Chain A
Amino acid sequence: MNELYVAKSPAIAARTLGDEAIIMSTLDSTLFSLNPTGTVIWEAADGKTPLSRIIEDKVCAEFDVSIVQASADAKDFIDKLVEHGILCVSDRPIPEKETS
């Protein structure tokens, strides 16, 4: 399976308050609130760190969840954010200029 890289879309405004990220699409002003697990992935989505490493080093390290389960949950979560245009995903590192 190919490695995946995730990065925040440039068309958002976001703030993490406590352990929840609030994200706003600047395209249509839609608001999203992420749970603590989603927030960990969101904060680590720098376009350079492979998703597998985010899951292993961040999600599984902070939450009581297996890599298999965390990977499946992360895929659903990322699909939804990509669908709303607030997260970019690629099979290669995403240059910073495309995300900021």
Chain B
Amino acid sequence: MQPPQYENSYEIIIEIGGVAIALLTIDAGLVSVLEKRYGAYVAPDAIPDLVFRVDVVSPDVFDPDADAEVWLQGNDWHLKRGDFWAEWNPETRLGRVRQSVNPYSIDSVLRIVHTLLLAKSGGFLLHASSAVRDGKAFLFSGLSEAGKTTMARLAPADVALLTDEASYVRKVGTSYLAYGTPFAGELGEPGKNISAPIAGLYFLEKARENQIVQIEPPQAVQRLMRNILFFAQDANLVRMVFESACAFVAAVPVFQLSFFPDQRVWELIG
């Protein structure tokens, strides 16, 4: 799509999971912050799928204690948290963000917008680290302290990390692909900007010995649903995400990976 023109505005296009989002702002300082933050995910030549105008405002206008809220009103999605307001129309593909100069607000806006886009196409953002080995992607999910970042840290040299925090899962035809994301956790490093077919999803648990056990579909759906990131208070979206989780579990093997946190665990992966 052709982005709208704003007088004297700078443009930065951030492409994640094959979806390019253009951010237009008159604030050169913000562009500089975002270029540094998104590095390999900045795609100046990409044709944007969505365009957001980003207005920089004083941090004083926000309530810093406000929780994230996402709701559909008419045709527009509204996103609100203690550090930003945003709105976005899926039909026009245009939106607006108001935030202070920081890389965290737009990061949250992007995560939320991607969850909304993915939900409509059978994909999702998963609270998981992920990596590619021998052309296949592996996802490692679990609650905090389960070992997502540990698995990323222990990865051998032949493994390319996609993320240690939020895995990007897209349905392409009947297959599922994992994409690298700039959404980093404790590791503090963006993932490699590549994608690969998903060969397995592992729910992590630290243990004294390494063991892999396949999880039956009903339990797999339950565990998957607990770890899918979605923020909207919208019944239709909840249904879509649930259906996506069921379809994913039918297509991708899901395992419990109990592991002792050293390099030997990667001998089981691939």
Q: Which residues of A contact B (CB under 8 A)?
A: 11, 13, 15, 17-18, 20, 22, 24, 26-27, 29, 31, 33
Contact = CB atoms under 8 A, between A and B. Distances in A.
Contacts of B218: 17-18, 20, 22, 33
Nearest to A21: B218
A93 to B, nearest CB: 25
Contact of B235 (A11, A15, A17): A11
Nearest to B228: A29
A17 B222 contact: no
Contact of B222 (A11, A13, A26, A31): A31
B225 A24 contact: yes
Interface in B205-241: 216-219, 221-222, 225-226, 235-236, 238-239
B69 interface: no
A29 B238 contact: yes
Given A18-B216, A26-B235, A27-B235, A13 B242 contact: yes
B235 A22 contact: no
**Chain B interface extent, by class:** 10 to 19
A56 B143 CA distance: 43
Given A15-B221, A22-B222, A31-B222, 7 more contacts: A18-B217, A20-B218, A22-B246, A24-B238, A24-B242, A29-B225, A33-B219
B211 to A, nearest CB: 23
B243 interface: yes
B238 A15 contact: no
Interface in B175-233: 216-219, 221-222, 225-226
A43 B221 CA distance: 19
B238 A31 contact: no
A31 B242 CA distance: 10
A31 B223 CA distance: 10
A15 B246 contact: yes
Nearest to B230: A29
B225 A31 contact: yes
A33 B222 contact: yes
Contacts of A17: 216-218, 221, 246, 249
Contacts of A26: 235-236, 238-239
Residue of A18, A31, A33 with most partner-chain B CB within 10 A: A31
A13 B239 contact: yes
Nearest to A29: B238
A15 B217 CA distance: 11
